[in-house]
Amino acid sequence: MASYKTNRTEEDILREMTAILRELKDPRIDPMLTVVRAELSRDLSNCKIFVSSLSGQETAKRSYQGLDSASGYIRRELFHRLKIRKCPALHFVADDSIAHSAAINEKLQQMHPVTEAPESSVEEEE
């Protein structure tokens, strides 16, 4: 069972990771990379960060290599921004949840197409 402190710290890490990703200048990191979720261990020593890319799973895996090489910088930035005693070790995981949810959404749209409301044209009398 996760504690309140763990949940709050996960949310803080998620928020700050999103901001830090925008500042990284590594060409391997996709600009459309999204932090999906962060899972923090009970003792706050390890953190899995799930990232996904709108460009696909291969781009997320390539971005993973860039994030892995920048993990020291990211960890230092998290330490300073969150003002915590000990920053957890970061482990990045390439996730395909965005592509999976887009595929589900597309299938749902095929089953029940959205009916657009007819545009009401008001004719102005001259």
CATH assignment of the domain containing 20? 3.30.300.20
Q: Is residue 80 part of a domain?
A: yes
pLDDT at residue 48 in the model: 93
CA–CA distance, 42 with 63 (Å, rounded to integer): 27
**pTM of the predicted model, to two decimals?**
0.73
Please state, as a whole number, how many other Cβ atoms lie within 10 Å of the Cβ of residue 110.
8
Local mean pLDDT, 10-residue blocks, the chain (126 residues): 78 92 88 88 90 81 87 91 88 80 84 67 52
pLDDT at residue 120 in the model: 55
pLDDT at residue 123 in the model: 54
Q: Is residue 122 part of a domain?
A: no
